[in-house]
Structure 1
Protein backbone atom coordinates (compact mmCIF):
# COMPACT_ATOMS: atom_id res chain seq x y z
CA UNK A 1 0.00 0.00 0.00
CA UNK A 2 1.25 3.50 -0.87
CA UNK A 3 0.21 6.92 0.36
CA UNK A 4 -2.09 7.28 -2.68
CA UNK A 5 -4.22 4.42 -1.30
CA UNK A 6 -4.93 6.43 1.83
CA UNK A 7 -6.93 9.66 2.19
CA UNK A 8 -5.55 13.02 1.08
CA UNK A 9 -6.38 16.22 2.94
CA UNK A 10 -7.29 19.12 0.67
CA UNK A 11 -7.21 22.75 1.75
CA UNK A 12 -8.20 25.89 -0.13
CA UNK A 13 -9.12 29.50 0.66
CA UNK A 14 -10.73 32.37 -1.18
CA UNK A 15 -9.63 35.76 0.05
CA UNK A 16 -9.91 39.54 0.03
CA UNK A 17 -6.82 39.90 -2.17
CA UNK A 18 -3.56 38.49 -3.44
CA UNK A 19 -1.19 39.29 -0.55
CA UNK A 20 -1.18 36.30 1.80
CA UNK A 21 0.50 38.28 4.57
CA UNK A 22 -2.00 41.15 4.76
CA UNK A 23 -5.23 40.03 3.06
CA UNK A 24 -7.91 37.96 4.79
CA UNK A 25 -9.79 34.69 4.40
CA UNK A 26 -13.37 34.91 3.10
CA UNK A 27 -14.14 31.23 2.45
CA UNK A 28 -12.21 28.05 3.18
CA UNK A 29 -12.55 24.31 2.78
CA UNK A 30 -10.94 21.24 4.32
CA UNK A 31 -11.49 18.00 2.42
CA UNK A 32 -10.90 14.35 3.28
CA UNK A 33 -10.40 12.88 -0.19
CA UNK A 34 -10.24 9.30 -1.37
CA UNK A 35 -8.92 6.35 0.60
CA UNK A 36 -11.81 4.21 -0.62
CA UNK A 37 -14.42 6.44 1.04
CA UNK A 38 -16.72 9.22 -0.23
CA UNK A 39 -15.14 12.65 -0.07
CA UNK A 40 -15.92 14.66 3.05
CA UNK A 41 -15.99 18.41 2.49
CA UNK A 42 -16.19 20.96 5.29
CA UNK A 43 -16.52 24.63 4.36
CA UNK A 44 -16.51 27.98 6.16
CA UNK A 45 -17.53 31.55 5.40
CA UNK A 46 -15.78 34.25 7.43
CA UNK A 47 -16.54 37.88 8.01
CA UNK A 48 -13.00 39.10 7.27
CA UNK A 49 -13.47 42.32 9.20
CA UNK A 50 -12.33 44.42 6.25
CA UNK A 51 -13.82 45.53 2.96
CA UNK A 52 -13.74 43.01 0.11
CA UNK A 53 -12.49 44.75 -3.05
CA UNK A 54 -14.56 44.45 -6.21
CA UNK A 55 -11.70 42.59 -7.90
CA UNK A 56 -11.88 39.84 -5.28
CA UNK A 57 -15.67 39.69 -5.47
CA UNK A 58 -15.40 39.03 -9.21
CA UNK A 59 -13.29 35.96 -8.43
CA UNK A 60 -15.26 34.26 -5.63
CA UNK A 61 -18.60 36.09 -5.66
CA UNK A 62 -18.67 37.38 -2.08
CA UNK A 63 -19.28 41.06 -1.46
CA UNK A 64 -18.45 42.73 1.85
CA UNK A 65 -22.15 42.73 2.78
CA UNK A 66 -22.61 39.07 1.85
CA UNK A 67 -19.62 37.98 3.91
CA UNK A 68 -20.81 40.00 6.90
CA UNK A 69 -24.30 38.48 6.64
CA UNK A 70 -23.36 34.86 5.98
CA UNK A 71 -19.96 34.77 7.65
CA UNK A 72 -18.90 34.13 11.21
CA UNK A 73 -16.17 35.98 13.15
CA UNK A 74 -12.84 35.38 11.44
CA UNK A 75 -11.03 34.31 14.60
CA UNK A 76 -13.54 31.53 15.30
CA UNK A 77 -13.39 30.36 11.69
CA UNK A 78 -9.59 30.29 11.64
CA UNK A 79 -9.51 28.29 14.86
CA UNK A 80 -11.90 25.70 13.43
CA UNK A 81 -9.94 25.42 10.18
CA UNK A 82 -6.68 24.81 12.02
CA UNK A 83 -8.32 22.25 14.32
CA UNK A 84 -9.81 20.38 11.36
CA UNK A 85 -6.46 20.28 9.55
CA UNK A 86 -4.52 19.20 12.63
CA UNK A 87 -6.95 16.33 13.27
CA UNK A 88 -6.49 14.93 9.76
CA UNK A 89 -2.78 15.67 9.38
CA UNK A 90 -2.05 13.99 12.71
CA UNK A 91 -3.58 10.80 11.27
CA UNK A 92 -0.65 10.78 8.84
CA UNK A 93 -2.49 11.99 5.75
CA UNK A 94 -0.68 14.37 3.36
CA UNK A 95 -1.94 17.94 3.03
CA UNK A 96 -2.69 18.91 -0.58
CA UNK A 97 -2.61 22.65 -1.30
CA UNK A 98 -2.51 24.19 -4.75
CA UNK A 99 0.08 27.01 -4.62
CA UNK A 100 0.81 26.15 -1.01
CA UNK A 101 2.82 29.29 -0.11
CA UNK A 102 -0.26 31.44 -0.68
CA UNK A 103 -2.93 29.47 1.19
CA UNK A 104 -0.72 28.23 4.02
CA UNK A 105 0.92 31.63 4.61
CA UNK A 106 -2.55 33.17 4.61
CA UNK A 107 -3.70 30.68 7.26
CA UNK A 108 -0.59 31.20 9.41
CA UNK A 109 -0.98 34.98 9.20
CA UNK A 110 -4.66 34.80 10.11
CA UNK A 111 -3.87 32.52 13.06
CA UNK A 112 -1.33 34.99 14.41
CA UNK A 113 -3.68 37.89 13.78
CA UNK A 114 -6.46 36.29 15.81
CA UNK A 115 -4.38 34.68 18.54
CA UNK A 116 -4.92 31.11 17.34
CA UNK A 117 -2.20 28.47 17.63
CA UNK A 118 -1.17 27.94 14.02
CA UNK A 119 -1.14 24.76 11.97
CA UNK A 120 2.65 24.57 11.85
CA UNK A 121 2.92 25.24 15.56
CA UNK A 122 0.42 22.45 16.27
CA UNK A 123 1.46 19.80 13.77
CA UNK A 124 4.02 18.76 11.15
CA UNK A 125 2.11 18.54 7.86
CA UNK A 126 3.60 16.78 4.85
CA UNK A 127 2.52 19.08 2.04
CA UNK A 128 1.88 18.16 -1.59
CA UNK A 129 1.53 21.04 -4.04
CA UNK A 130 0.16 19.95 -7.43
CA UNK A 131 1.58 23.05 -9.11
CA UNK A 132 5.12 22.21 -7.97
CA UNK A 133 4.72 18.51 -8.75
CA UNK A 134 3.34 19.14 -12.23
CA UNK A 135 6.04 21.65 -13.10
CA UNK A 136 8.72 19.17 -12.00
CA UNK A 137 7.46 16.21 -14.02
CA UNK A 138 6.44 18.20 -17.12
CA UNK A 139 8.61 21.31 -17.06
CA UNK A 140 8.35 22.34 -20.69
CA UNK A 141 4.67 21.67 -21.37
CA UNK A 142 3.13 24.77 -22.97
CA UNK A 143 0.12 26.45 -21.44
CA UNK A 144 -0.93 27.67 -18.04
CA UNK A 145 -0.43 26.07 -14.64
CA UNK A 146 -3.55 27.31 -12.88
CA UNK A 147 -5.79 24.75 -11.23
CA UNK A 148 -8.20 24.93 -14.16
CA UNK A 149 -5.32 24.18 -16.55
CA UNK A 150 -4.12 21.22 -14.49
CA UNK A 151 -7.63 19.80 -14.23
CA UNK A 152 -8.00 20.00 -17.99
CA UNK A 153 -4.61 18.36 -18.59
CA UNK A 154 -5.09 15.53 -16.07
CA UNK A 155 -8.81 15.10 -16.84
CA UNK A 156 -10.03 15.95 -13.35
CA UNK A 157 -13.51 17.45 -12.86
CA UNK A 158 -13.67 20.99 -11.51
CA UNK A 159 -17.30 21.68 -10.71
CA UNK A 160 -16.98 25.36 -9.78
CA UNK A 161 -13.65 27.16 -10.05
CA UNK A 162 -12.94 29.51 -7.13
CA UNK A 163 -15.37 27.69 -4.88
CA UNK A 164 -13.07 26.63 -2.05
CA UNK A 165 -14.64 23.19 -1.64
CA UNK A 166 -14.56 22.40 -5.35
CA UNK A 167 -11.00 23.69 -5.67
CA UNK A 168 -9.76 21.60 -2.72
CA UNK A 169 -11.34 18.43 -4.15
CA UNK A 170 -9.92 19.13 -7.61
CA UNK A 171 -6.41 19.78 -6.25
CA UNK A 172 -6.51 16.38 -4.54
CA UNK A 173 -7.68 14.77 -7.76
CA UNK A 174 -4.86 16.35 -9.75
CA UNK A 175 -2.27 15.31 -7.16
CA UNK A 176 -3.54 11.72 -7.19
CA UNK A 177 -3.38 11.65 -11.01
CA UNK A 178 0.16 13.06 -11.11
CA UNK A 179 1.43 10.53 -8.57
CA UNK A 180 -0.18 7.58 -10.30
CA UNK A 181 1.07 8.70 -13.70
CA UNK A 182 4.60 8.95 -12.28
CA UNK A 183 4.63 5.89 -10.06
CA UNK A 184 7.99 6.68 -8.44
CA UNK A 185 6.12 9.34 -6.45
CA UNK A 186 3.86 6.74 -4.87
CA UNK A 187 6.94 4.85 -3.67
CA UNK A 188 8.58 7.99 -2.24
CA UNK A 189 7.98 8.54 1.49
CA UNK A 190 5.92 11.64 2.17
CA UNK A 191 8.67 13.22 4.26
CA UNK A 192 11.10 12.88 1.37
CA UNK A 193 8.60 14.11 -1.19
CA UNK A 194 7.90 17.16 0.97
CA UNK A 195 11.62 17.98 1.20
CA UNK A 196 12.13 17.51 -2.53
CA UNK A 197 9.40 20.05 -3.23
CA UNK A 198 11.26 22.62 -1.16
CA UNK A 199 14.12 22.40 -3.67
CA UNK A 200 11.93 22.02 -6.75
CA UNK A 201 9.89 25.09 -5.81
CA UNK A 202 13.04 27.15 -5.24
CA UNK A 203 14.41 26.11 -8.65
CA UNK A 204 11.10 26.83 -10.37
CA UNK A 205 10.81 30.26 -8.80
CA UNK A 206 14.42 31.05 -9.68
CA UNK A 207 13.61 30.23 -13.29
CA UNK A 208 10.56 32.48 -13.16
CA UNK A 209 12.62 35.28 -11.63
CA UNK A 210 15.18 34.94 -14.41
CA UNK A 211 12.43 34.98 -17.06
CA UNK A 212 10.98 38.21 -15.69
CA UNK A 213 14.44 39.79 -15.36
CA UNK A 214 15.25 39.25 -19.05
CA UNK A 215 11.80 40.03 -20.48
CA UNK A 216 11.28 43.67 -21.53
CA UNK A 217 8.46 45.25 -19.58
CA UNK A 218 8.46 42.57 -16.89
CA UNK A 219 11.79 43.27 -15.22
CA UNK A 220 10.11 44.78 -12.14
CA UNK A 221 8.20 41.56 -11.50
CA UNK A 222 11.45 39.69 -10.80
CA UNK A 223 11.66 41.51 -7.46
CA UNK A 224 8.33 40.02 -6.33
CA UNK A 225 9.19 36.35 -6.91
CA UNK A 226 9.71 34.40 -3.69
CA UNK A 227 11.25 30.94 -3.55
CA UNK A 228 9.94 29.96 -0.10
CA UNK A 229 7.85 26.78 0.12
CA UNK A 230 5.47 25.75 1.61
CA UNK A 231 5.40 28.94 3.71
CA UNK A 232 6.53 32.51 3.22
CA UNK A 233 8.21 33.38 6.54
CA UNK A 234 7.27 36.68 8.21
CA UNK A 235 9.78 39.50 7.94
CA UNK A 236 9.83 39.84 11.74
CA UNK A 237 8.00 38.27 14.72
CA UNK A 238 4.49 39.61 15.10
CA UNK A 239 4.35 41.23 11.67
CA UNK A 240 1.24 39.30 10.68
CA UNK A 241 -0.55 40.28 13.86
CA UNK A 242 0.07 43.94 12.97
CA UNK A 243 -1.26 43.60 9.39
Structure 2
Protein backbone atom coordinates (compact mmCIF):
# COMPACT_ATOMS: atom_id res chain seq x y z
CA UNK A 1 0.00 0.00 0.00
CA UNK A 2 1.20 3.56 -0.77
CA UNK A 3 2.41 5.69 2.13
CA UNK A 4 -0.70 7.87 2.01
CA UNK A 5 -2.80 4.84 2.96
CA UNK A 6 -0.67 3.98 5.99
CA UNK A 7 -0.17 5.57 9.41
CA UNK A 8 1.43 9.02 9.42
CA UNK A 9 2.52 11.25 12.29
CA UNK A 10 2.07 15.01 12.18
CA UNK A 11 4.58 17.11 14.13
CA UNK A 12 4.60 20.82 14.93
CA UNK A 13 6.27 23.23 17.34
CA UNK A 14 5.25 26.71 18.42
CA UNK A 15 8.25 28.68 19.58
CA UNK A 16 9.75 31.87 20.96
CA UNK A 17 10.97 33.11 17.57
CA UNK A 18 11.92 32.41 13.97
CA UNK A 19 15.58 31.38 14.26
CA UNK A 20 15.59 27.58 14.60
CA UNK A 21 19.04 27.51 16.19
CA UNK A 22 18.30 30.14 18.86
CA UNK A 23 14.53 29.97 19.51
CA UNK A 24 13.00 27.74 22.17
CA UNK A 25 10.08 25.33 22.23
CA UNK A 26 6.86 26.66 23.77
CA UNK A 27 4.32 24.05 22.64
CA UNK A 28 4.67 20.78 20.74
CA UNK A 29 2.23 18.32 19.27
CA UNK A 30 2.54 14.89 17.70
CA UNK A 31 -0.64 13.63 16.04
CA UNK A 32 -1.03 10.09 14.69
CA UNK A 33 -3.27 9.92 11.63
CA UNK A 34 -4.60 7.11 9.47
CA UNK A 35 -6.82 7.78 6.48
CA UNK A 36 -7.09 11.43 7.49
CA UNK A 37 -8.54 10.57 10.93
CA UNK A 38 -6.71 11.15 14.22
CA UNK A 39 -5.83 7.90 16.01
CA UNK A 40 -3.59 9.35 18.73
CA UNK A 41 -2.25 12.66 19.99
CA UNK A 42 0.34 13.97 22.43
CA UNK A 43 0.69 17.65 23.39
CA UNK A 44 3.26 19.52 25.46
CA UNK A 45 3.51 22.99 27.01
CA UNK A 46 7.07 23.97 27.92
CA UNK A 47 8.58 26.64 30.11
CA UNK A 48 11.25 27.78 27.63
CA UNK A 49 13.39 29.35 30.34
CA UNK A 50 13.45 32.70 28.52
CA UNK A 51 10.87 35.38 28.03
CA UNK A 52 8.52 34.78 25.13
CA UNK A 53 8.49 37.89 22.92
CA UNK A 54 5.15 39.63 22.59
CA UNK A 55 5.22 39.05 18.82
CA UNK A 56 5.45 35.30 19.35
CA UNK A 57 2.75 35.28 22.02
CA UNK A 58 0.45 37.16 19.66
CA UNK A 59 0.83 34.35 17.13
CA UNK A 60 0.43 31.23 19.26
CA UNK A 61 -1.36 32.69 22.30
CA UNK A 62 1.06 31.51 25.00
CA UNK A 63 2.40 34.20 27.32
CA UNK A 64 5.60 34.01 29.34
CA UNK A 65 3.53 34.00 32.51
CA UNK A 66 1.42 31.05 31.41
CA UNK A 67 4.44 29.09 30.19
CA UNK A 68 6.23 29.65 33.51
CA UNK A 69 3.16 28.73 35.58
CA UNK A 70 1.87 25.75 33.57
CA UNK A 71 4.73 24.59 31.38
CA UNK A 72 7.04 21.71 32.08
CA UNK A 73 10.84 22.13 32.01
CA UNK A 74 12.04 22.55 28.44
CA UNK A 75 14.61 19.78 28.90
CA UNK A 76 11.89 17.24 29.73
CA UNK A 77 9.70 18.34 26.84
CA UNK A 78 12.53 18.20 24.28
CA UNK A 79 13.55 14.76 25.52
CA UNK A 80 10.00 13.37 25.35
CA UNK A 81 9.27 14.85 21.92
CA UNK A 82 12.52 13.43 20.52
CA UNK A 83 11.86 10.02 22.09
CA UNK A 84 8.36 9.92 20.61
CA UNK A 85 9.48 10.88 17.10
CA UNK A 86 12.30 8.35 17.07
CA UNK A 87 9.97 5.58 18.27
CA UNK A 88 7.79 6.22 15.24
CA UNK A 89 10.79 6.28 12.90
CA UNK A 90 12.05 3.03 14.39
CA UNK A 91 8.70 1.49 13.37
CA UNK A 92 9.03 2.94 9.87
CA UNK A 93 6.23 5.49 10.36
CA UNK A 94 6.87 8.75 8.44
CA UNK A 95 6.83 12.01 10.37
CA UNK A 96 5.03 14.82 8.54
CA UNK A 97 6.06 18.39 9.34
CA UNK A 98 5.32 21.53 7.37
CA UNK A 99 8.66 23.27 6.80
CA UNK A 100 10.35 20.38 8.57
CA UNK A 101 13.78 21.99 8.46
CA UNK A 102 12.57 24.60 10.96
CA UNK A 103 10.88 22.31 13.49
CA UNK A 104 13.47 19.54 13.42
CA UNK A 105 16.44 21.93 13.49
CA UNK A 106 14.90 23.75 16.46
CA UNK A 107 14.27 20.49 18.31
CA UNK A 108 17.81 19.38 17.54
CA UNK A 109 19.17 22.65 18.92
CA UNK A 110 17.12 22.18 22.11
CA UNK A 111 18.58 18.70 22.57
CA UNK A 112 22.12 20.09 22.23
CA UNK A 113 21.31 22.96 24.57
CA UNK A 114 20.25 20.56 27.32
CA UNK A 115 22.97 17.98 26.79
CA UNK A 116 20.53 15.33 25.55
CA UNK A 117 21.13 12.64 22.89
CA UNK A 118 20.59 13.88 19.36
CA UNK A 119 17.92 12.51 17.06
CA UNK A 120 20.56 10.63 15.09
CA UNK A 121 22.07 9.16 18.25
CA UNK A 122 18.65 7.95 19.31
CA UNK A 123 18.37 6.24 15.91
CA UNK A 124 21.66 4.42 16.43
CA UNK A 125 23.51 6.60 13.96
CA UNK A 126 21.47 5.41 10.97
CA UNK A 127 20.09 8.85 10.17
CA UNK A 128 16.63 10.18 10.86
CA UNK A 129 13.53 9.64 8.79
CA UNK A 130 11.50 9.19 6.83
CA UNK A 131 10.25 12.77 6.93
CA UNK A 132 7.48 14.10 4.69
CA UNK A 133 7.46 17.89 4.30
CA UNK A 134 4.45 19.20 2.34
CA UNK A 135 6.14 22.62 2.08
CA UNK A 136 9.12 21.17 0.21
CA UNK A 137 7.04 18.77 -1.88
CA UNK A 138 4.50 21.40 -2.93
CA UNK A 139 7.25 23.76 -4.11
CA UNK A 140 8.76 20.94 -6.18
CA UNK A 141 5.60 19.59 -7.83
CA UNK A 142 3.90 22.96 -8.40
CA UNK A 143 6.92 25.19 -8.73
CA UNK A 144 5.37 28.02 -10.72
CA UNK A 145 2.14 28.50 -8.78
CA UNK A 146 1.82 32.09 -7.66
CA UNK A 147 1.01 33.15 -4.14
CA UNK A 148 2.20 32.44 -0.63
CA UNK A 149 3.34 29.03 0.60
CA UNK A 150 2.37 29.46 4.23
CA UNK A 151 0.51 26.54 5.80
CA UNK A 152 -2.72 28.56 5.72
CA UNK A 153 -2.28 29.41 2.04
CA UNK A 154 -1.41 25.86 1.03
CA UNK A 155 -4.35 24.51 3.03
CA UNK A 156 -6.54 26.80 0.94
CA UNK A 157 -4.95 25.55 -2.27
CA UNK A 158 -5.61 21.91 -1.40
CA UNK A 159 -8.98 22.34 0.31
CA UNK A 160 -7.74 21.44 3.81
CA UNK A 161 -9.53 23.00 6.77
CA UNK A 162 -7.33 24.86 9.26
CA UNK A 163 -9.45 26.61 11.88
CA UNK A 164 -6.84 27.17 14.61
CA UNK A 165 -3.67 28.18 12.81
CA UNK A 166 -0.55 28.35 14.99
CA UNK A 167 -1.92 25.91 17.53
CA UNK A 168 0.57 23.05 17.38
CA UNK A 169 -1.99 20.23 17.24
CA UNK A 170 -4.04 21.94 14.52
CA UNK A 171 -0.96 22.69 12.42
CA UNK A 172 0.38 19.14 12.84
CA UNK A 173 -2.92 17.64 11.67
CA UNK A 174 -3.20 20.11 8.79
CA UNK A 175 0.32 19.19 7.64
CA UNK A 176 -0.70 15.54 7.36
CA UNK A 177 -3.89 16.35 5.51
CA UNK A 178 -2.02 18.61 3.08
CA UNK A 179 0.46 15.79 2.45
CA UNK A 180 -2.44 13.45 1.70
CA UNK A 181 -4.01 16.03 -0.63
CA UNK A 182 -0.73 16.50 -2.50
CA UNK A 183 -0.44 12.73 -2.92
CA UNK A 184 -3.95 12.59 -4.33
CA UNK A 185 -3.35 15.44 -6.78
CA UNK A 186 0.12 14.24 -7.77
CA UNK A 187 0.13 10.43 -8.05
CA UNK A 188 3.86 10.41 -8.78
CA UNK A 189 4.41 11.55 -5.18
CA UNK A 190 2.17 8.85 -3.74
CA UNK A 191 4.01 6.25 -5.82
CA UNK A 192 7.33 6.90 -4.07
CA UNK A 193 8.08 4.81 -1.00
CA UNK A 194 8.76 6.94 2.12
CA UNK A 195 12.53 6.44 2.08
CA UNK A 196 12.77 7.46 -1.59
CA UNK A 197 10.45 10.42 -1.02
CA UNK A 198 12.71 11.51 1.84
CA UNK A 199 15.75 11.34 -0.44
CA UNK A 200 13.96 13.25 -3.21
CA UNK A 201 13.10 16.04 -0.77
CA UNK A 202 16.76 16.47 0.14
CA UNK A 203 17.46 17.25 -3.51
CA UNK A 204 14.31 19.33 -4.02
CA UNK A 205 15.10 21.48 -1.01
CA UNK A 206 18.72 21.98 -2.08
CA UNK A 207 17.63 23.01 -5.59
CA UNK A 208 15.12 25.51 -4.16
CA UNK A 209 17.70 26.95 -1.75
CA UNK A 210 20.30 27.40 -4.47
CA UNK A 211 17.79 29.03 -6.81
CA UNK A 212 16.50 31.34 -4.10
CA UNK A 213 20.02 32.31 -3.05
CA UNK A 214 20.86 33.15 -6.68
CA UNK A 215 17.67 35.22 -6.92
CA UNK A 216 18.54 37.22 -3.80
CA UNK A 217 22.04 37.89 -5.07
CA UNK A 218 20.76 39.01 -8.47
CA UNK A 219 18.48 41.42 -6.61
CA UNK A 220 21.50 43.02 -4.94
CA UNK A 221 22.06 41.07 -1.72
CA UNK A 222 25.51 39.75 -2.63
CA UNK A 223 26.02 38.19 0.81
CA UNK A 224 22.73 36.25 0.85
CA UNK A 225 23.10 32.66 2.03
CA UNK A 226 20.19 30.21 2.02
CA UNK A 227 20.96 27.04 3.95
CA UNK A 228 20.39 24.10 1.55
CA UNK A 229 20.27 21.36 4.21
CA UNK A 230 17.05 19.44 4.78
CA UNK A 231 15.46 18.18 7.03
CA UNK A 232 17.74 19.48 9.77
CA UNK A 233 21.14 21.02 10.21
CA UNK A 234 24.10 19.26 11.75
CA UNK A 235 22.90 15.65 11.75
CA UNK A 236 22.76 12.80 9.20
CA UNK A 237 19.79 13.21 6.87
CA UNK A 238 19.47 9.83 5.15
CA UNK A 239 16.18 8.10 5.75
CA UNK A 240 16.14 4.73 7.40
CA UNK A 241 15.24 1.89 5.07
Tell me the TM-score normalized by structure 1. 0.90
Q: How does 1:163-202 map to 2 (within 5 A)?
A: 163-202=167-206
> 1:232 is matched with which residue?
233
For 2:132, which of 113, 128, 151 is the aligned residue? Answer: 128
Q: In the aligned structure 1, how far is the partner of 2:86 from the partner of 2:36?
A: 21
**How many residue pairs align between the two structures?**
231
Map 1:186-225 onto structure 2 (within 5 A). 186-215=190-219, 219=221, 223-225=224-226
Q: Does the aligned pair in 2 maintain the 1:102–1:231 contact within 8 Å?
A: yes
The aligned counterpart of 1:26 is: 26
> How far did 1:36 drift?
7.3
Aligned equivalents of 1:233 and 1:36: distance in 2?
A: 32
Kept after mapping to 2: 8 A contact 1:86/1:122: yes
Matching residue of 1:80: 80
C-alpha contact 1:6 1:34 (8 A) present in aligned 2:
yes
**Cα RMSD (Å) of the superposition?**
1.6
CA shift in 2, pair 1:36/1:181, >3 Å: closer
Relative to structure 1, the CA distance from residue 17 to residue 224 in structure 2 (aligned partners, 3 Å threshold; closer, same or farther) is farther
Partners of 1:25 and 1:48 within 8 A in 2: yes
TM-score scaled to structure 2, two decimals?
0.91
Q: Please say if residues 36 and 177 of structure 2, whose CA atoms lie closer than 8 Å, have aligned partners that are also in contact.
A: no
8 Å CA contact 1:9–1:89 kept in 2: the answer is no
Unaligned runs of 5+ in 1: 235-243
Measured after TM superposition, the shift of residue 23 of structure 1 is: 1.2
Aligned partner of residue 38 in structure 2, secondary structure: coil
More off after superposition, 146-155 vs 117-126: 117-126
Structure 1 outlier segments of 4+, above 3 Å: 35-39
Partners of 2:176 and 2:16 lie apart in 1 by: 24
Is the partner of 2:154 in helix, strand or coil? Answer: helix
Equivalent residues of 1:15, 1:56 under 8 A apart:
yes
